[in-house]
Amino acid sequence: MSSPPDSPGPEVPGPSGLTMAMTLRDFARGPIPMIEGLQARFGDVSRFRFAGSTMWQFGDPQLIEEVMLRKAGEFVKDKITHELDDLVGQGLLTSEGELWRRQRKLAAPTLQRRHIQAYAEAMVRFTRAMTAEWGEQSDRAFHHDSMELTLRIVVKTLFNLEMAHEIDRIGRAIEDGMDAFHERVHTMWRFIKDYVDPPLQPVHNRAVETLDDVIGELIRERQRDQSPGDDLLLRLIQARDDEGHAMSDRQLRDEALTIFLAGHETTALAITYALYLLANHPGAQQRVHDELDLRGGDLGANAANDLPYLKAVAQEALRLYPPAWIVGREALVDVEVGPWRVEKGDQVIIPTFVVHRNERFFEDPLRFAPSRWLDGLEKRLPRFAYFPFGGGPRVCIGNHFAMMELVLVLATILGEYRVEDLSESAVELDPSVTLRPKGEVPLRFVRRA
């Protein structure tokens, strides 16, 4: 099937002329219309020139598997992901090569399934502290609540700190940093940002200052008090390389900030979308309540196994609204992907959001149907038809942590409350690095009888 490296290869579909104008119009409407438009017009493969780069979009699981897994060594993260370097520096998400390999090896044990079981108690405790303020009924701007909750959980479990007074500052600074990032890469500023500073540049600069300040203090606090703990931060502080050197303060800052960024907003989004979907599907919500009532008792690290329907709800929410809605790579060398020759420096878009909604893999793909996961669907699917946590060597290091948190938080809330949707129309999306909702997600929580 694949052509020899020196042959021209098959002709590549992709926009030019009028269809490129359509693609640019879609981009102006937002990145999701753009990736959906490419898939609708050209199918699983398209190639085009955009913002000075050659871009490929691969929507086919076999091709995605080649990029993310089988030929992973021939790719690095894409240019857009590396735009995050300005904010998070060289942490796990953005570093490459030897630095990434060393840091991944160091961090991985703290996030393995066995290790994170100790965090279940904190996940439930912080969720109860949130619902304790809701009383019999509460109307919430829920995505805000959810972001605060997951930030608290990450700070406690991975940094062994309560830091109540700093949570808001960190949360706001990360959001500001993300807004500025969004402006730089997902709006028309992308085409001129190298010549003129975008309007949110000062906001970005202030966010970096705040994060340096707060995270620096947090690290110094843990360096001073190295009492034993299960936290990732202590492990990073105590790590030594082959020559016995500790990690620099800068590297510690980059890793800590990366975990804040990668670990809290993604999970918060998954919780928000799952509750929003349940609020709009009373039958599914009733089934969750029945399962929780039948199970009874306190929930621990095994909640996902004990609650198969709720786990299926989480999987279905991650399918329809994958928080990491797109993955990007850049070719390090000329490389063949299926019959296509991707050249060194080409950018590859892997549109998770589009693949997860493809009717070739999911019957009635836009329907929220958790039960589709109950009869072994995941095993029957091609490996890269459903991949909310990515795959290959750069698979999400927090995937077990996130699934456990998602199920425990949902179970704790829904054990006590029924959820209703207060918005007048369907949630609109505002994708940045993550798949954010546009504005708030207003939800009503009513205590169950």
- Supply 414's token pair: 């829904």
For residue 312, give every residue at least 6 positions away whose Cβ sits within 8 Å of its Cβ, in sequence order, or none.
370, 371, 372, 373, 374
Question: Does residue 388 interact with ligand HEM by CB under 6 A?
Answer: yes
Size of the site for ligand HEM (CB under 6 A): 24
Q: Which helix (H) or strand (E) holds 178?
A: helix 164-186
- Segment 207 to 246, residues that bind ligand HEM, using CB under 6 A: none
Contact 44, 58 (CB under 8 A): yes
Can you tell me which of 45, 87, 93, 174 binds ligand HEM, judged by CB under 6 A? 93
CA dihedral 210, 211, 212, 216 (to 10 degrees): 110
**In residues, how long is the chain?**
449
Closer to ligand HEM at the Cβ: 170 or 200?
Answer: 170
Given candidates 288, 327, 354, 414, which one binds ligand HEM under the rule CB under 6 A?
Answer: 327
Q: Which of 171, 398, 431, 437 binds ligand HEM (CB under 6 A)?
A: 398
**Closest Cα partner for 175 from 269, 57, 271?**
269
Which residue of this chain has its Cβ atom nearest to ligand HEM in the complex? 398
Q: Using DSSP, state whether 275 is helix, strand or coil.
A: helix
Site string for ligand HEM, 45-84 (x = CB under 6 A): --------------------------------x-------
Contact (Cβ atoms closer than 8 angstroms) between residue 86 and residue 204: yes
Considering only the stretches 46-54, 280-288, 383-391, 419-427, report the one whose residues sit in contact with ligand HEM under the rule CB under 6 A. 383-391
Of residues 15 and 370, the one with the C-beta less far from ligand HEM: 370
92 binds ligand HEM (CB under 6 A): yes
Binding mask 103-132 for ligand HEM (x = CB under 6 A): -x------x---------------------
Compose the 253-292 pattern: x for residues touching ligand HEM by CB under 6 A, - for all others.
-----xx--xx--xx--x----------------------
DSSP notation for 102-159: HHHHHHGGGGSHHHHGGGHHHHHHHHHHHHTTTTTEEEEEHHHHHHHHHHHHHHHHHH
Which DSSP helix (H) or strand (E) runs through 217? helix 201-224
Q: How far is the CB of 93 from ligand HEM (least distance, A)?
A: 4
Q: How far apart are CA 290 and CA 415, in angstroms?
A: 10
Lateral strand order in the sheet of 75-77? 45-50, 53-58, 347-350, 327-331, 75-77
Cβ proximity to ligand HEM: between 260 and 368 the closer is 260
CA geometry: angle 294, 299, 302, nearest 5 deg? 100
- Is 48 assigned to a binding site? no
Is 317 among the residues that bind ligand HEM (CB under 6 A)?
A: no
Nearer to ligand HEM, 46 or 103 (CB): 103
Q: Is 321 in the site for ligand HEM (CB under 6 A)?
A: no
Query: Does residue 390 belong to the site contacting ligand HEM (CB under 6 A)?
Result: yes
Least distance to ligand HEM from the beta carbon of 132, Å?
24
Query: Is the distance from CB of 233 to CB of 257 less than 8 angstroms?
Result: no
**Nearest Cα residue to 409 out of 311, 334, 325, 283:** 311
**Residue 349 binds ligand HEM, judged by CB under 6 A:** no
Q: Determine, following the binding rule CB under 6 A, whether residue 313 of this chain makes contact with ligand HEM.
A: no
Cβ closest to ligand HEM, residue 24 vs residue 130: 130
353 contacts ligand HEM (rule: CB under 6 A): no
SS (H, E, C) 19-77: HHHHHHHHHHHCHHHHHHHHHHHHCCEEEEEECCEEEEEECCHHHHHHHHHHCHHHEEE
- Write out the residues near ligand HEM by the rule CB under 6 A: 77, 92-93, 104, 111, 258-259, 262-263, 266-267, 270, 323-324, 327, 388-390, 394, 396-398, 401-402
- Residue ranges for the binding site? 396
- Residue ranges for the binding site for heme? 396
